[in-house]
Structure 1
Amino acid sequence: MRILVTGGAGFIGSEYVRMLLTGTGPRLDPGAVTVLDKLTYSGNLANLDPVRNDPRLTVVVGDICDPALVDEVVAGHDVIVHFAAESHVDRSIASAAPFVSTNVLGTQIMLDAALRHGTGRFVHISTDEVYGSIDSGSWTEHQPLAPNSPYAATKAGSDLLALAYHRTYGMDVVLTRCANNYGPYQFPEKVVPLFVTNLLDGGTVPLYGDGGNVRDWLHVHDHCVGIALVQDKGRPGEVYHIGGGTELTNRELTARLLAACGADWDRVTPVADRKGHDRRYSLDITKITEELGYVPQIDLDRGLAETVAWYRENRAWWEPLKERLDPAVTHPGPAAT
């Protein structure tokens, strides 16, 4: 099996590649794995260092919005797992154009190439943010899409495109939508690595509004296990939710991170709330559990402790990345992709 992973040098994509090649998740036994990544600010070849010497791995640096390159790379692959996306909400509020280009146009170019080459399966990775906000209960996969940020709107658009290619052309397309991810190798503009690295450096952390926004937290490895199950056994044309099972307000998450880093609340700086900030996300994961046997294995206490330890021990990885951060977009935003 030849698997193409777009965005495979990013946070979640690189975890998926490492999992495929080390066999630490569901055993898909790939004969070859190709990574296609533009290496924008959040893409990092160092994320693939643990598997860079695996002879099954090929890395192609390029843009999913380049039709000629995509056509060349897609040829000969049995499966495409499509992670590549612009993902930070604050950046989308500052400038939506790159999100429309990459998330919508780029996905269309990938789908066209997969259709042209008869790719066996196209796994499209999405986010809970496409649903908007929910006051109580949890969304099932049948919930209508109602995105509120430019980022979420472009992801919703790409979801609809992917499903349309299944319905129109009969392509074997499956979608996943995930909760907020955290774990090692996450670019430090997202809330967990931003807070942890700031606190390890003796700095302060920003907390939006009243800190009451609620998110479900999902360790990146559990997310990738869920994706592998969908890649292997998901039904064509279906959407599967992947969640972590632990909902926290941003204030509760901040308290846990402060404790893990040995810091107090005097290190927290209140900031004005984000424009259009969704209050709560919550995914119902009954479908993937009953159909594919998915159950998250890494509870939040263990996952956060291991994540803090990883950032403490890997300053050489994150310190150069902190120098690239734009202060205007380093508030605690959602961390799905």
Structure 2
Amino acid sequence: MNTTEDNVRVLVTGADGFIGSHLVERLLQQGYKVRALAQYNSLNHWGWLEDVPAHPHLEIITGDILDATCCREITRDIHTVFHLAALIAIPFSYRAPSRYIETNVTGTLNMCQAALDQGVVRFLQTSTSEVYGTAQYVPIDEAHPLQAQSPYSASKIGADALATSFHRSFELPLTIVRPFNTYGPRQSARAVIPTIITQIAAGAESIQLGDLSPTRDFSFVTDTCDGFIALANCPQAIGETVNVGSNFEISVADTLEKIREIMGSNVKFMTDQARLRPSASEVMRLWCDNSKYRALTGKQPEFSIDDGLRATIEWFCKPENLAKYKPGIYNV
């Protein structure tokens, strides 16, 4: 897949979401023709694609990956599939685990089958660092054991295994892309970085948070998107699972201190019991070994945590963007 080919058309499922909408923009910037799938709704609202400027090479369609007929239709005449559509909120997976299995596993089945039937040239399956659970060793490479510590992570382990089976059984040209903790403009308020930024920007004197002791490997969203595109253009990545992260570990507490300092805030952090995961479900440590990604693509993340946080804060603090969030309501 490269921009010198004629009629290179790619499909992004979950294009109405946080990472998906940024990926659509990056692909358009690099000359690809993009078919973007937004989940159907009666308002014909395209999620974060509403913020993506109209482009002659952007085709937005609505549908549902749980419908096999829809999946066959949207993969027609597609060179590369970036499959991002999924349910991702960990707290809500405790309430609706069956829905996560339906969307993340059955939806992936439908997309793999459709891609195989339509002769798609490359298929990028989106995984998550949550499949590793709490690190047994660091940094975490792709050989690290998988540990289902939430229904969400279990559903993604299942989806990855199913996609892998299509590669091994039917030669689906698959790469599993395993991003670590992506952040940036448009991220859901259920994630910790937007939670803290939006509450400070809204003038809160104290902020309700969950456990601050876990560590994470944060990646700015454009670095994650560039990882998808680089792996799609890497034939050696077919059949591989590849971590995409920063190879940088920081605690949630230290991340929040950075945000407070950048925003010039004296806000106090308060523990909200409703935001705590069950103790055995909390992933305490994530730190990405991205050496395989670097070896395959020759690329490095471009954004430091400080630069990424500044860009994120700048976006969220614009009144027109902050108005899209409800800082006083806990997003499950």
Change (3 A) 1:39 1:299: farther
Task: Indicate if the aligned counterparts of 2:12 and 2:83 stay in contact, CA closer than 8 A.
Answer: yes
Aligned twin of 2:200: 199
Distance 1:265 1:51 in 2: 33
Corresponding residue pairs, total = 317
Distance 1:178 1:254 in 2: 21
Distance 1:265 1:185 in 2: 23
Question: Alpha-carbon deviation of 1:254?
Answer: 1.3
Distance 2:244 2:45 in 1: 25
Q: For residues 147-226 of structure 1, what are the structure 2 equivalents within 5 Å?
A: 147-203=148-204, 204-209=206-211, 211-226=212-227
Question: Alpha-carbon deviation of 1:98?
Answer: 1.9
Aligned twin of 1:138: 139
Q: Give the TM-score normalised by the residue count of structure 2.
A: 0.90
Q: For residues 1-337 of structure 1, what are the structure 2 equivalents within 5 Å?
A: 1-23=8-30, 29-30=31-32, 32-38=33-39, 45=46, 47-49=48-50, 51-203=52-204, 204-209=206-211, 211-234=212-235, 235-266=237-268, 268-272=269-273, 273-275=276-278, 276-313=281-318, 315-322=319-326, 327=330, 329=332
Distance 1:260 1:78 in 2: 43
Percent pairwise identity: 30
Change (3 A) 1:242 1:152: same
Q: Give the TM-score normalised by the residue count of structure 1.
A: 0.89
Distance 2:313 2:321 in 1: 14
Secondary structure of the residue aligned to 2:127 is strand
Task: Indicate if the aligned counterparts of 2:177 and 2:244 stay in contact, CA closer than 8 A.
Answer: yes
Supply the AA of the counterpart residue of 1:4: L
Structure 2 gap ranges (5+): 1-7
C-alpha deviations, 1:54-98, integer Å up to 9, x for none?
111111111110111111111111110001011111111122122
| RMSD after superposition | 1.9
Supply the AA of the counterpart residue of 2:19: I
* Larger RCO: 1 or 2 (CA < 8 Å, sep 6+): 1
Distance 1:311 1:64 in 2: 30
Distance 1:161 1:318 in 2: 39
Which stretches of structure 1, 4 residues or longer, exceed 4 Å deviation after superposition? none
C-alpha deviations, 1:221-254, integer Å up to 9, x for none?
0011111110111421101111123311111111
Question: Alpha-carbon deviation of 1:208?
Answer: 2.0
Task: Indicate if the aligned counterparts of 1:5 and 1:35 stay in contact, CA closer than 8 A.
Answer: yes
Task: Indicate if the aligned counterparts of 2:38 and 2:47 stay in contact, CA closer than 8 A.
Answer: no
Question: Alpha-carbon deviation of 1:260?
Answer: 2.0
Distance 1:79 1:6 in 2: 11
